[in-house]
Chain A
Amino acid sequence: MIVTVVMGIFSLIMLFPFLLMLLTSLKTMKEVLAPRFILFPSELVWHNFAEAMTRGNWPRYFFNSVYVTAITVIVSLLFNSLAGYAFSRLRFRGRDMLFLITLIGLMIPPQVNMLPVFVILKNIPLAGGNNLLGRGGTGWLDSYMGLIAPYVAGSFGVFLFRQFYLNFPKALDDAALIDGLGKVRIFFRIYVPLSTPVIATLIALKTTHTWNEFTWPLIIINSDKMKTVQLALTAFKAETTVEWNLLMAATTLTILPLVITFLIAQRYFIQGIVTTGIKG
Chain B
Amino acid sequence: MEITVQHPLERYIRSEKMPTTWCPGCGIGTVVQSFLKAIDELGLDPKDLVMISGIGCTGRVPHYLKFDGAHVLHGRAIPVALGVKLANPKLKVVVWGGDGDIASIGGNHLIHAARRNADLTVIMINNFIYGLTGGQVAPTTPKETVTYTSPYNPDSKPFDVVKLVAAAGATYVARWSTAYPVLLKESIKKALNHRGFSFIEVISQCPEIFGRINGFKEPYDLYLKIKKVGQIRRGISPFEAKYDWNEEISLGEFVNREEPTYLEQLEEIKKKARGEKA
Q: Do A and B come from one complex?
A: no
